Structure 1
Amino acid sequence: MSGENSDSPQVSAAPLQHTVNLKLVKLGYHYLISYSLYLLLLPALAVVSTRLASLTFGDLLLLRDSLRSNPATLVLCYALMVFLATLLFMKRPRPVYLVDFACYKPSCALKCTREFFVEHSARTGIFTDDNLAFQKKILERSGLGQSTYFPEAMFETPPKLCMAGARKEAEMVMFGAIDELLQKTGVKAKDIDILIVNCSLFNPTPSLSAMVVNHYKLRGNIQSYNLGGMGCSAGLISIDLAKQLLQVHRNSNALVVSTENITLNWYFGNNRSMLVPNCLFRAGCAAVLLTNRSAAHRRSKYQLIHTVRTHKGADESSYNCVFQHEDDEGKVGVALSKDLMKVAGDALKANITALGPLVLPLSEQLLFVFNLVARRALRMRIPSYIPDFKLAFEHFCVHAGGRAVLDEVEKSLELTDRHMEPSRMTLYRFGNTSSSSLWYELAYSEAKGRIKKGDRTWQIAFGSGFKCNSAVWRALRTINPAKEKNPWMEEIHEFPVRVPRVEAIRT
């Protein structure tokens, strides 16, 4: 026994040491390339400094007399400098700040345990025994915990799926999130200039944005938008739309509300590909206040640095992989294709290819280009190089669409358990809240006290269509969790929890 124990560290030490050495070599390469520009500029700076130091007082007097004798040249130089400075000032993008955000936390009475879900589904008398067992397995392996939330209509027997119930759910989550946001920021409803509401599956008339305008008595000249049918990535589409509008409208505040509605979109049928969303989606909402007012810089939490949107809808398999339609019995549901993970992976690759040059250090960009040239031009049989985005970001918020989605992103980007913790804990505690999940994840990092001034956060969202969207934020100040109010604060000491990893279930 003692011999086996003494040998085991020696067996694992060599690969571990090899991995550590490779990491050190790559880190040294990264620093060398990152600071090489400064090293190259030092000789040029030294030459210029030497030339300037060699100028005598007489040389300066000669230059002054030359300019005085040519006033037209002097005026032209001044005019050119003023013109270029003005052009640069007018063309530069306006900074967009995130003042604060709020995530709605339903009451304890609306918590849905796995046992309740299965029992309640059985009481409807609609699902076959096999499909009840299938849903139970999905719940056990999905990564969802015992404290996710359903709307009130889902607790009735049979569930009261009607327009009134759906409106009630929308009002509950949206007004709850907006009320908290207005309270946190001190902004009055009349100070909101732009309103964007996104909800994929529930689009009543009047719209959800009109519902918000009516409830808060917003101004008559408000710029109001309602986005529907854009899936779980619509939250970042709303952020991108707000960014574009804030480039046009000066001194404006933009309110973005991201949610999804469950009441009218529950599937009561026995098509297994349509049963999976029943098991994953839960009630939730996030409200975000953005502004381009320069005075808001001091009190804002983040600055929006980049938004990158990728749409793969031209490809048929991508377009059809998340599709709302009727089953053989005429019951409407959202079907998930077996190709979903492959489609999501392809969309992610396309998105990071566009995002990489904007955020990655030069060292990673060079490695990516060399790999591309070797594979495409030299026909070398080597694997594709995935850039190390951990060098560009301190925090990752990956849409909590399901355990399989998170596993795929973690593997593709080679992220650590700590990087994935906000996403996995959000899925466990709140379930898939669609477009608002990214904000529950950022709230988790804030509640843990991990957001420091200057930190960069990457939000990644996937949605039907098929889309993959990204947003990059930089923290303007260190977030003190003791001063925060978000849905995690009362129980953050209980997290992270261990979520067993199991194999996915085939539909």
Structure 2
Amino acid sequence: MSSEATTATTTGDGGVQNQQTRRLPDYLQSVNLKYVKLGYHYLMTYLLTLCLIPLISVIFIEASQMNPDDIHQLWLHLQYNLVSVIIFSTVLVFGTTVYIMTRPRSIYLVDYSCYRGPSHLQVKYHQFMEHSRLTGDFHESSLEFQYKILERSGLGEETYVPEAMHYIPPRPSMAAAREEAEQVMYGALDNLFANTNIKPKDIGILVVNCSLFNPTPSLSAMIVNKYKLRGNIRSFNLGGMGCSAGVIAIDLAKDMLQVHRNTYAVVVSTENITQNWYFGNKKSMLIPNCLFRVGGSAVLLSNKSSDKRRAKYKLVHIVRTHRGADDKAFRCVYQEQDDVGKTGVSLSKDLMAIAGGALKTNITTLGPLVLPVSEQLLFFCTLVAKKLFTAKVKPYIPDFKLAFDHFCIHAGGRAVIDELEKNLQLLPVHVEASRMTLHRFGNTSSSSIWYELAYTEAKGRIRKGNRVWQIAFGSGFKCNSAVWQALRNVKPSPNSPWEDCIHRYPVMVIEA
């Protein structure tokens, strides 16, 4: 028998694409280590149960050996201590009542909806470059730079840009920006109300987030006016909080639902492109033109126990990390004017390093809340060993695949997805939803995590009990996480953003 194992990958026509030869002992060792770790994980997970089995057995054996006289004596003892029994029962009932009244209320995600634009708003690569050239605002070097970014971006040729940007020259204006906001927000909300049969008057809390477009009256006021929401609604409008604002908005709605009982909260997440397209030649400010596209989402949350039966998910955790105290992190995504006075958003070359630091802080807080005991012990032991032996021990990266079944990583760009796939040691299937969302819809800012969840649903992958990790990055600099648990086998809602194209995905994204 050969001491080497050969693996081969075949193409669709039966040809061999590549071959890789590994020594058999190395292969067997990797398989053995895999099963050793799996066995360790199961041992630590069920350790308490295994320890309780002998104790329960002893109690059962002792109880079975008691004679009727012993049982009678125990009953007489309880009778003579009637006052103690009454006091204990009273304390137990009172404590249970206080716990039920003061415990945090469960927050349910009844349903959500994502905006899908009309086909005439789609933009192909050649259209994007031709329009950029015809505006007359970009130097030849800037056009070449945008084309290179577009090629490497991971975006497909069906993403949407607003109506105003399809004209030559473009027609950005306050009226056009309002029109874009109305199309996106109302489109998502109309579909949400139709799918849930919720009347607008039933909404008690409204949270809207949009980073760069904040008119007066606010976007939340526009929604109140459009749907004639009730006069005592608690409405909030979050601005300037970047691509992670969707999780912040969910967190705010969650806190409000803890205070106001038996009501619904709607969270609308979007971004506005019309007045925020950059028409200058500073390269760090040209990147958003190539990545950001039209999109938005509307989410219906409830604190009513009766909604548990029809809800899709239950909110488990929200963890927020803010690195704004660090000057470099604060300025890594920064809206400013260039040397000739044209406004845009500048992206720092240190962005990925700063995002990595924010992610590390975020998962340090999130890890103890979601990771199994086996992973926490390994992480703790490695940390102690590193302190004792300094650089001789590599830091242990917890296996978050043991805590989550699905990952919705903000589709900020190919580099963001690549970095998290590498750092969290994820498999291609775990980042598939993020890559395909980036390809089909582009970077839709704070709403991208909902397009990703919709993709996973459309693929039929959400099963009852599955945990979903939504993670987003935003200016400030912020890294925010939301954890959801599926309450049933989730199917896509009517008019899902993937309804007309899920059969074509996943697609192969060519690296330039």
TM range (shorter): over 0.9
Aligned to 2:495: 485
| 1:331-480 equivalence runs, <5 A | 331-480=342-491
Question: What is the CA–CA distance in structure 2 between the aligned matches of 1:15 and 1:65, rounded to whole Å?
Answer: 69
Kept in 1, the 8 Å contact 2:370–2:403? The answer is yes
The 1:6–1:250 alpha-carbon spacing in structure 2 relative to 1, beyond 3 Å, is: closer
Structure 1 residue ranges without an equivalent (≥5): 503-507
Report the more deviating stretch, 60-69 or 209-218: 60-69
Question: What is the CA–CA distance in structure 1 between the aligned matches of 2:250 and 2:208, rounded to whole Å?
Answer: 10
Q: C-alpha deviations, 1:304-347, integer Å up to 9, x for none? A: 11111111111111111101111111111110000000000011
Aligned to 2:506: 496
Q: CA deviation at 1:484?
A: 4.2
Question: What is the CA–CA distance in structure 2 between the aligned matches of 1:5 and 1:409, rounded to whole Å?
Answer: 31
Q: C-alpha deviations, 1:162-215, integer Å up to 9, x for none? A: 111110000000000000000011111011111000000111111100010000
Which residue identity is paired with 2:120? A
Report the more deviating stretch, 362-371 or 10-19: 10-19
| Matched residue SS, 1:485 | coil
Aligned to 2:140: 129
Kept in 1, the 8 Å contact 2:269–2:296? The answer is yes
TM-score, normalised with respect to structure 2: 0.94
| Matched residue SS, 1:149 | coil
Q: C-alpha deviations, 1:232-285, integer Å up to 9, x for none? A: 000001111111111111111010000000011111111100000011000000
Kept in 2, the 8 Å contact 1:447–1:484? The answer is no
| 1:148-187 equivalence runs, <5 A | 148-187=159-198
Q: CA deviation at 1:10?
A: 4.8
| 1:37-52 equivalence runs, <5 A | 37-52=48-63
| Pairing partner for 2:339 from 328, 332, 357 | 328
Kept in 1, the 8 Å contact 2:138–2:281? The answer is yes
Q: CA deviation at 1:73?
A: 1.9
Report the more deviating stretch, 297-306 or 87-96: 87-96
| 1:302-313 equivalence runs, <5 A | 302-313=313-324
1:74 and 2:89 aligned: no
Q: C-alpha deviations, 1:400-451, integer Å up to 9, x for none? A: 0000000000000011111110000000000000000000000001111111
| Matched residue SS, 1:449 | coil
Question: What is the CA–CA distance in structure 1 between the aligned matches of 2:66 and 2:5, rounded to whole Å?
Answer: 75
| Matched residue SS, 1:161 | coil
Aligned to 1:189: 200
1:202 and 2:213 aligned: yes
Question: What is the CA–CA distance in structure 2 between the aligned matches of 1:12 and 1:457, rounded to whole Å?
Answer: 38
Kept in 2, the 8 Å contact 1:399–1:460? The answer is yes
1:116 and 2:127 aligned: yes
Kept in 1, the 8 Å contact 2:6–2:22? The answer is no
| 1:182-261 equivalence runs, <5 A | 182-261=193-272
| Pairing partner for 1:297 from 298, 303, 308 | 308
Kept in 2, the 8 Å contact 1:124–1:157? The answer is yes
| Matched residue SS, 1:307 | strand
Which residue identity is paired with 1:121? S
Aligned to 1:505: none
The 1:9–1:103 alpha-carbon spacing in structure 2 relative to 1, beyond 3 Å, is: closer
Aligned to 1:30: 41
The 1:165–1:16 alpha-carbon spacing in structure 2 relative to 1, beyond 3 Å, is: farther
Report the more deviating stretch, 466-475 or 6-15: 6-15
| Matched residue SS, 2:111 | strand
| Matched residue SS, 1:379 | helix
Q: CA deviation at 1:15?
A: 4.4
Question: What is the CA–CA distance in structure 1 between the aligned matches of 2:239 and 2:223, rounded to whole Å?
Answer: 15
Kept in 1, the 8 Å contact 2:5–2:23? The answer is no
Q: CA deviation at 1:294?
A: 0.4
| Matched residue SS, 1:83 | helix
Which residue identity is paired with 2:123? C
Which residue identity is paired with 1:453? K
Question: What is the CA–CA distance in structure 1 between the aligned matches of 2:197 and 2:25, rounded to whole Å?
Answer: 58
Kept in 2, the 8 Å contact 1:104–1:176? The answer is yes
TM-score, normalised with respect to structure 1: 0.95
Question: What is the CA–CA distance in structure 1 between the aligned matches of 2:173 and 2:90, rounded to whole Å?
Answer: 67
Q: CA deviation at 1:6?
A: 7.9
| Matched residue SS, 2:431 | helix
Which residue identity is paired with 2:466? D
Aligned to 2:13: none
| Pairing partner for 1:278 from 278, 284, 289 | 289
Identity across aligned pairs (percent)?
A: 60
Give the aligned CA root-mean-square deviation in angstroms: 1.7
Report the more deviating stretch, 87-96 or 157-166: 87-96
Question: What is the CA–CA distance in structure 2 between the aligned matches of 1:318 and 1:38, rounded to whole Å?
Answer: 46
Q: CA deviation at 1:375?
A: 1.2
Structure 2 residue ranges without an equivalent (≥5): 8-18
The 1:370–1:249 alpha-carbon spacing in structure 2 relative to 1, beyond 3 Å, is: same
Q: CA deviation at 1:123?
A: 0.8
Which residue identity is paired with 1:317? K
Aligned to 1:102: 113
Kept in 2, the 8 Å contact 1:147–1:429? The answer is yes
The 1:6–1:154 alpha-carbon spacing in structure 2 relative to 1, beyond 3 Å, is: closer
Question: What is the CA–CA distance in structure 1 between the aligned matches of 2:499 and 2:24, rounded to whole Å?
Answer: 41
Q: CA deviation at 1:5?
A: 12
Q: C-alpha deviations, 1:104-145, integer Å up to 9, x for none? A: 000001001111111111111010000000000100000000
Question: What is the CA–CA distance in structure 1 between the aligned matches of 2:402 and 2:357, rounded to whole Å?
Answer: 22
How many residue pairs get matched?
A: 498
Question: What is the CA–CA distance in structure 1 between the aligned matches of 2:395 and 2:161, rounded to whole Å?
Answer: 42
